[in-house]
Amino acid sequence: MAHDTTHAHESNSKRIWTVFIILSIITLVEVILGIIKPDFLVHTYFVSLKLINWIFIVLTIWKAYYITWAFMHMEGETKGLRRSVVWTAGFLIVYLVFILLTEGDYVHEVLQRGQVAWDF
**Residues interacting with other proteins, by CB under 8 A?**
1-2, 4, 8-13, 16-17, 20, 23-24, 27, 30-31, 34-35, 42-43, 53, 56-57, 59-60, 63-64, 67-68, 70-73, 77-78, 80-81, 84-85, 88-89, 92-93, 96-97, 100-101, 103-105, 107-108, 111-112, 117-120
Residue 7 beta carbon to other proteins: minimum distance, rounded to whole angstroms: 9
CB atoms within 10 A of CB 52: 19
Specify the residue, 38 or 84, whose C-beta has the smaller distance to other proteins: 84
Phi/psi of residue 117, nearest 5 degrees: -95, 135
Minimal distance in Å, beta carbon 47 to other proteins? 14
Angle, CA 34 vertex, CA 29 and CA 37 arms, to 5°: 110
Q: How far is the CB of 59 from other proteins (least distance, A)?
A: 8
* Distance separating alpha carbons of residues 120 and 117, to the nearest angstrom: 7
